[in-house]
Amino acid sequence: MKRIAILATNGFEESELKSPKEAMEKEGFNVEIVSLKNGEIKGWANGNWSNSYKVDKTLNEVKAEDYNALVLPGGVINPDLLRREEIALDFVRDFFKLKKPVAAICHAPWTLISAGVVKGRKMTSFNSIKDDLINAGANWVDQEVVVDEGFVTSRNPDDLPAFNSKLIEEIKEGKHEMQHA
**HEC readout, the chain:** CCEEEEECCCCEEHHHHHHHHHHHHHCCCEEEEEECCCCEEEEEECCEEEEEEECCEEHHHCCHHHCCEEEECCCCHHHHHHCCCHHHHHHHHHHHHCCCCEEEECCCHHHHHHHCCCCCCEECCCHHHHHHHHHCCCEECCCCEEEECCEEEECCHHHHHHHHHHHHHHHHHCCCCCCCC
Contacts with 85 (C-beta within 8 Å, 6 or more apart), sequence order: 36, 59
Chain segment 8-29, per-residue pLDDT in tens: 999 999 999 999 999 999 999 9
Q: Which CATH class is domain 3-173?
A: alpha beta
- Domain coordinates of the chain in residue numbers? 3-173
**Active-site choice (70, 106, 167, 171):** 106
- What local confidence, expressed as pLDDT, does residue 177 receive? 72
| R_g (Cα) of the chain, nearest Å | 14
- What local confidence, expressed as pLDDT, does residue 180 receive? 73
Chain segment 96-150, per-residue pLDDT in tens: 999 999 999 999 999 999 999 999 999 999 999 999 999 999 999 999 999 999 9
Residue 181 has pLDDT above 70, yes or no: no
Is 107 considered catalytic here? yes
**Active-site choice (18, 21, 83, 107):** 107
Is 180 considered catalytic here? no
Chain segment 53-110, per-residue pLDDT in tens: 999 999 999 999 999 999 999 999 999 999 999 999 999 999 999 999 999 999 999 9
* Whole-number Cα distances in Å, 115 to 1, 90, 108: 28, 7, 11
Mean pLDDT over 29-36 rounds to 98
- Residues of the chain with pLDDT > 90, as a percent, come to 96
